């Protein structure tokens, strides 16, 4: 049962254009959403997050949008740069039955920026 | 800067062997996690620990166990390795934040385990 889904396994975007990565979730108990970026042979690194009580968070070239009614979030990267080529994972936080926080990750989208 | 170190980059083990994957973090974080990454499946949580000697099952704990004897160290144990446990294993840590969230996970670089 995949509670966090990224339906596009890959995406190619021209350098300088906007990259839009999408994520859908099913669990309405998720209260924070995060994006991680992963280069080959490295662990994922945190990029940006958003609380479920907000609909937008911006950090430099990165903006995350949350649509709670549609259970959908997206990451916008503007302008896209070659160094943005990586696998992007969307993640969602919930509190476990024992009161501890845990993150559930999506399947990832491989973003390729074309020079 | 938070450093999460996984003891092995690559491991090759035989079916039925007992396998230990070790992870150490240097930031005094309360929470530690083990994930596995597989193509098309993303990162899936195996086990996590929120304190020394405390553990909680993640989404796919079958075939695994964990040990947390010291705060900085979290071990993943495959009691009897099988070929379907061939995967990239990622350890992560975070600090306890109570009700507010501002502590993203910090990951190690992963251990690629092959079971033959």
pLDDT, tens digit, 9 for 90 and up, residues A4-58: 999 999 999 999 999 999 999 999 989 899 999 999 889 999 999 999 999 999 9
Residue of A nearest to B92 (CA): A43
Output the pLDDT for position A100: 77
Rounded Cα–Cα distance for residues A104 and A33 (Å): 9
What does the DSSP assignment read for B4-52?
A: EEES-SEEEE-TT--EEEEEEESS--SEEEEEEEETTTEEEEEEEEEET
Rounded Cα–Cα distance for residues B72 and A78 (Å): 38
Residue of A nearest to B101 (CA): A32
Residue B103: is its pLDDT beyond 70? no
Nearest to A44 by CA among B78, B33, B53, B20: B33
Residue B100: is its pLDDT beyond 60? no
- Is A51 in contact with B101 (Cβ distance < 8 A)? yes
Share of chain A above pLDDT 90, in %: 83
Rounded Cα–Cα distance for residues A95 and A17 (Å): 37
For the segment B28-44, the average pLDDT, to the nearest whole number, is: 92
- Pairing verdict, β A109-114 and B87-94: unpaired
Confidence of residue A94 (pLDDT cuts 50, 70, 90): confident
Residue B92, CA distances (Å) to A26, A84, B25, B46, B86 in order: 24, 22, 8, 12, 19
Residue B100, CA distances (Å) to A56, B22, B51, B57 in order: 18, 30, 19, 23
In chain B, residues with a C-beta closer than 8 Å to the C-beta of A31 are 101
Output the pLDDT for position B101: 54
- Is A93 in contact with B48 (Cβ distance < 8 A)? no
Report the Cα B109 to chain-centroid distance in Å. Answer: 11
Task: Give the angle subtended at the CA of B58 by the CAs of B52 and B62, to the nearest 5°.
Answer: 105
Any CB–CB contact under 8 A between B104 and chain A? yes
Do residues A85 and A63 lie in contact, with contact meaning Cβ atoms separated by under 8 Å?
no
Q: Out of A9, A43, A51, name the one closest to residue B107 (CB).
A: A43
Residue of B39, B46, B105, B112 to mutate when probing chain A, most A C-beta within 10 A: B105
Output the pLDDT for position B96: 62
Output the pLDDT for position A47: 94
Output the pLDDT for position A56: 97
B53-67 pLDDT, tens per residue? 889 999 999 999 999
Confidence of residue B37 (pLDDT cuts 50, 70, 90): very high
Output the pLDDT for position A99: 75
Residue B98: is its pLDDT beyond 60? no
Confidence of residue B13 (pLDDT cuts 50, 70, 90): very high
In chain B, residues with a C-beta closer than 8 Å to the C-beta of A89 are 42-43
For the segment B2-10, the average pLDDT, to the nearest whole number, is: 90
Rounded Cα–Cα distance for residues B46 and A12 (Å): 32
Residue A67: is its pLDDT beyond 80? yes
- Is A108 in contact with B59 (Cβ distance < 8 A)? no
Output the pLDDT for position B2: 66
- Is B40 in contact with A100 (Cβ distance < 8 A)? no
**What does pLDDT average to over chain B?**
91
Helices (H), ranges, chain A:
none
Residue with tokens 């007992």: B18
- Is B42 in contact with A105 (Cβ distance < 8 A)? yes
Any CB–CB contact under 8 A between A101 and chain B? yes
């Amino acid at each position: 049962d995949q509670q966090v889904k990224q339906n596009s396994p890959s995406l190619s975007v021209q350098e300088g254009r906007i990259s839009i990565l999408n994520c859908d979730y099913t669990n309405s108990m998720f209260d924070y959403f995060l994006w991680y970026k992963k280069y080959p042979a490295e662990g994922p690194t945190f990029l940006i997050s958003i609380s479920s009580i907000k609909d937008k968070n911006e950090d430099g070239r990165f903006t995350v949008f949350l649509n709670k009614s549609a259970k959908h979030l997206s990451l916008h990267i503007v302008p896209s740069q070659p160094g943005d080529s990586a696998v992007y994972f969307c993640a969602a936080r919930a509190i476990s039955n024992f009161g501890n926080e845990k993150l559930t990750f999506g399947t990832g989208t491989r973003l390729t920026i074309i020079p | 800067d938070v450093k999460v170190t996984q003891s092995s980059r690559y491991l090759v083990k035989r079916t039925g062997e007992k396998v230990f994957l070790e992870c150490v973090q240097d930031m005094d974080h309360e929470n530690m996690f083990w994930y596995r990454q597989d193509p098309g499946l993303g990162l899936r949580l195996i086990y996590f620990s929120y304190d020394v000697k405390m553990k909680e099952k993640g989404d796919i704990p079958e075939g695994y166990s964990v040990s947390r004897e010291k705060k900085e160290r979290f071990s993943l144990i495959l009691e009897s390795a099988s070929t379907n446990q061939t995967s990239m294993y990622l350890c992560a840590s975070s600090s306890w934040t109570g009700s507010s969230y501002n502590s993203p996970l910090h990951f190690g670089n992963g251990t690629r385990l092959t079971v033959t």
